[in-house]
């Protein structure tokens, strides 16, 4: 009968080094909830609003800009369409927040989604409907996309030092801080109910 091998267990290694003492570890500090919100939550909320939720002067949020720039570098401005999964995978070099979020962004910018005044993504396949809750888009492996011809105006002179480039999240490549747009990019179409009809 074979002998059972015993697992070798190595002693737990301290994370902060030997003989490191954390001051006030384990003590409960009382503080008003308003003070906690000001010191912890407010800086985080402002960072999210400023860097993710509000469009920059070019009219794009970071997720839109990263996706469009990736499609531009893939040659999808004048080339043929490619599978959406390829675009999503390449965009993750700039936007590491998961493939589902990137694909949803591309779907909302597509021609078939009908949610923009000027569609920026020429989509092929089931990209869903903006006004339908039940008609979801197909998976990214089934749909195809490329940039609309109007996107030429988004990238005009981008290689002539018109905008600043910064390193991506891991420093392996660079991305533009803004796109050198030559026309205003209004993200959402206006609903007629928002305006009073002239009499």
pLDDT digits (tens, 9 = 90+) for 147-196: 999 999 899 889 998 999 999 999 999 999 999 988 766 544 433 333 33
Sheet of strand 121-124: strand arrangement: 82-83, 144-147, 121-124
pLDDT at 42: 84
Q: Give the CA-trace dihedral at 161, 162, 163, 164, to 10 degrees.
A: 30
Q: Which of 69, 131, 142, 169 is catalytic?
A: 142
Among residues 68, 38, 63, 42, which one has the least CA distance to residue 51? Answer: 63
**Cα 36 to Cα 194: distance, rounded to the nearest angstrom:** 39
- What number is the average pLDDT over the span 96-100? 88
Instruction: State pLDDT tens for residues 22-80.
Output: 777 788 888 898 888 888 888 888 888 877 788 888 888 889 999 999 999 999 998 89
pLDDT at 193: 35
- What number is the average pLDDT over the span 106-121? 78
- What number is the average pLDDT over the span 100-121? 82
The overall pTM is greater than 0.75? no
DSSP per position, 11-41 = PPPPSS-TT---TTTT------HHHHIIIII
CATH number for domain 58-193, candidates 3.90.199.10, 3.30.565.10, 3.40.50.1110, 3.40.50.2300: 3.90.199.10
**Is 142 in the active site?**
yes
């Amino acid at each position: 009968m074979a002998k059972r091998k015993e697992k070798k267990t190595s002693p737990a290694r301290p994370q902060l080094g030997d003989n490191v003492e954390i001051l006030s570890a384990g003590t409960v500090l009382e503080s008003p909830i308003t003070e906690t919100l000001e010191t912890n939550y407010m800086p985080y909320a402002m960072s999210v609003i400023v860097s993710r939720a509000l469009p920059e002067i070019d009219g794009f949020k970071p997720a839109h800009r990263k996706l469009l720039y990736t499609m531009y570098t893939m040659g999808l401005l004048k080339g043929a369409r490619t599978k959406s999964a390829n675009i999503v995978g390449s965009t993750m070099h700039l936007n590491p927040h998961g493939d589902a979020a990137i694909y949803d962004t591309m779907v909302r910018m597509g021609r078939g989604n009908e949610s923009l005044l000027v569609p920026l993504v020429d989509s092929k396949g089931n990209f869903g409907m903006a006004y339908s809750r039940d008609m979801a888009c197909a998976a990214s492996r089934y749909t195809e996309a490329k940039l609309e011809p109007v996107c030429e105006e988004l990238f005009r002179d981008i290689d002539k030092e018109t905008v600043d480039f910064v390193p991506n999240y891991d420093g392996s490549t660079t991305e533009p801080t803004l796109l050198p747009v030559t026309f205003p990019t209004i993200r959402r179409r206006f609903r007629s109910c928002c305006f009073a009809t002239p009499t």
